């Protein structure tokens, strides 16, 4: 068995320890005589899995009691609709557009109300996060929306916008559990788990109590109402049982490593390794502006598309996979999520240095 260093943006690398635990549990989960994939979502064994997962993520993120934690399906993309449907009472929201994901979310929200794009960085191909100081938010807006880490362009908010009493809604899909956050700063903080937390098929929505209400847009499907899922504890219908189980194992793994403070230190160390190389390289250069670089997704280019293609092809011979950039940016992108070991980043930097010598 040869595991590669998988730099995929998502679905992405998972901790080897978690995969081994899942393997050990595969045929017989803790003496049940069946796999987690085969058991009723109403069974005592599964109740324990989802309740433990919730307790562990609450612990990891220090989630206050007045927030609900929902384990849902439909991905982050379904939340692009669920958020306006559940929150748009005044039928207006402010969006900051800092990349493809927030742009998509804003477009979807327009189906349900007035969307005011208060700032955008599209003028420079989303290579930076708009300055949030001095932005004028509508005090009557139902919420202010951001995507805190833009997976494709490799940018992350250096600081959160000051939104006053308007709830801040943040898509943290590609930075979920990579560093501590102050949950109280948000009305909703949510993300698809297949970037940094688990397998595809689960989206975790952490929503403040007062935003879970009956007076949603009337055509909101029952299953997409937060109240439905809060009342049912995410079990309104069959949840993504297997995915929730794997997320639970990842939460235990994170706690074992020392939680999110420890994770942040490790992520900063890995990111610095790659960014320091990029900043001193004669061949490669990062595409995101320095003051808003992501710790998780690192896009870079040589400036020559043929050379980029050659580099990507040769990476395979060094156990480096999924390094090709998103089609809208080109070049390369290294996603260095929690589960990417430092040795993987080191292997990438070593090969970049070798390639530079041979090609610069």
List interacting residues with ligand PLP (CB under 6 A): 10, 75-77, 101, 147, 151, 171, 173-174, 192, 195
Residue number closest to ligand PLP, CB atom: 75
Smallest separation (angstroms) from ligand PLP to the CB of 189: 12
Smallest separation (angstroms) from ligand PLP to the CB of 54: 20
Q: Tell me the three state secondary structure of residue 314.
A: helix
Q: List Cβ neighbours of 250 (8 Å cut-off, separation of 6 or more).
A: 14, 15, 18, 177, 197, 198
Residues annotated as catalytic (active site), given as ranges: 101, 171, 195
Q: Which is nearer to ligand PLP, 7 or 277 (CB)?
A: 7
Work out whether strand 203-208 and strand 188-192 pair parallel, antiparallel, or are unpaired.
antiparallel
Cα(172)–Cα(148) distance, integer angstroms: 6
What angle in degrees, to the nearest 10, is found between the helix axes of 259-280 and 342-359? Answer: 0
Q: Which is nearer to ligand PLP, 167 or 192 (CB)?
A: 192
Q: Where would I find the beta strands (DSSP E) of the chain?
A: 5-6, 67-72, 92-97, 114-120, 144-147, 149-150, 155-156, 168-171, 188-192, 203-208, 285-286, 297-301, 320-321, 332-335
Q: Which is nearer to ligand PLP, 175 or 263 (CB)?
A: 175
Q: Which is nearer to ligand PLP, 318 or 326 (CB)?
A: 326
Smallest separation (angstroms) from ligand PLP to the CB of 350: 28
Smallest separation (angstroms) from ligand PLP to the CB of 195: 5
Q: Is there a contact between 118 and 74 (Cβ–Cβ < 8 Å)?
A: no
Smallest separation (angstroms) from ligand PLP to the CB of 118: 19
Q: Which is nearer to ligand PLP, 175 or 283 (CB)?
A: 175
């Amino acid at each position: 068995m040869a595991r590669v260093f998988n730099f995929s943006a998502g679905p992405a690398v998972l901790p080897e320890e978690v995969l081994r635990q899942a393997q050990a549990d595969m045929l017989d989960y803790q003496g049940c005589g069946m796999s987690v994939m085969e058991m009723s979502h109403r069974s005592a064994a599964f109740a324990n899995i989802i309740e433990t997962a919730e307790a562990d993520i609450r612990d990891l993120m220090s989630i206050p009691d007045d927030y609900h934690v929902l384990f849902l399906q439909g991905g982050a993309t379904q939340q692009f609709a669920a958020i306006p449907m559940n929150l748009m009472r005044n039928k207006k929201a402010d969006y900051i557009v800092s990349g493809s994901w927030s742009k998509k979310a804003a477009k979807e929200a327009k189906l349900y109300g007035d969307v005011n794009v208060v700032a955008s960085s599209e003028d420079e191909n989303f290579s930076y996060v708009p300055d949030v100081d001095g932005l004028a938010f509508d005090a009557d807006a139902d919420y202010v929306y951001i995507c805190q880490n833009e997976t494709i362009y490799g940018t992350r908010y250096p600081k959160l916008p000051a939104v006053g009493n308007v709830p801040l809604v943040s898509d943290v899909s590609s930075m979920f559990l990579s560093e501590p956050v102050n949950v109280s700063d948000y009305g909703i903080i949510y993300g698809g788990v297949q970037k940094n937390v688990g397998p595809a098929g689960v989206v975790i929505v952490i929503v403040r109590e007062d935003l879970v209400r009956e007076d949603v847009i009337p055509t909101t499907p029952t299953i997409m109402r937060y109240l439905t899922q809060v009342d049912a504890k995410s079990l309104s219908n069959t949840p993504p049982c297997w995915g929730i189980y794997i997320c639970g194992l990842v939460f235990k793994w994170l706690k074992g490593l020392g939680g999110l403070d420890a994770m942040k230190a490790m992520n900063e160390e890995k990111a610095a390794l790659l960014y320091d190389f990029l900043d001193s390289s004669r061949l490669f250069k990062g595409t995101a502006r320095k003051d808003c670089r992501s710790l998780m997704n690192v896009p870079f280019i040589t400036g020559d598309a043929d050379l980029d293609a050659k580099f990507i092809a040769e990476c395979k011979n060094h156990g480096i996979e999924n390094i090709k950039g998103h089609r809208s940016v080109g070049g390369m992108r290294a996603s260095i999520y929690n589960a990417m070991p430092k040795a993987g980043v080191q292997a990438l930097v070593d090969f970049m240095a070798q390639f530079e010598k041979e090609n610069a």
